[in-house]
Amino acid sequence: MTLLVVDASVAVKWFVPEVHGEAAKRFLDPNHELLAPELIWAELGNALWKKRRRGEIDATAARRMFMDFKRYPLTTVPLANLAEAAWDIAERLDRSVYDSFYLALAEDRRSRLVTADRKFYDAATAHQLMQNIVWVEDHL
């Protein structure tokens, strides 16, 4: 079993058709144990809400997707113990603390973060954090 951290950029692709959607769904394989900081709930909800607001999905579907997320094979982790590491990563990468919580969790669990956020991926690989981050299209 492979332990992986997934971020909201991957999780949203489990629900709505987007570029890299099929690749994101590969990580739902039972051979992967998936983790995310509990922040993923807020980020996924906001992404679905924005899609609903833009008319990309209707309100009923957006709400159903959000509520269905609890059925996905993902364990969420409280943020408090990751805060210091997330701050340090945000400072090193000049990226948001939100994004940095995911990488902090991957480092804490000696795992890898799977992301579909190209800017975050590029920032992490440029700062020698490459061993902790995987592009959604890459094979493990």
Alpha carbon distance 21, 27 (integer Å): 11
How many Cβ atoms from other residues are within 10 Å of residue 37's Cβ? 25
**pLDDT class for 129, splitting at 50, 70, 90?**
low
Q: What is the pLDDT of residue 39?
A: 97
CA dist 96 → 19, 20, 30, 80, 112 (Å): 23, 23, 31, 16, 18
Instruction: Output the CATH code of domain 2-135.
Output: 3.40.50.1010
pLDDT value of position 131 = 79
pLDDT by residue (tens digit) across 21-51?
999 999 999 999 999 999 999 999 999 999 9
- C-alpha–C-alpha distance, residues 19 and 114, integer Å: 15
Note the pTM of the prediction, 2 decimals.
Answer: 0.94
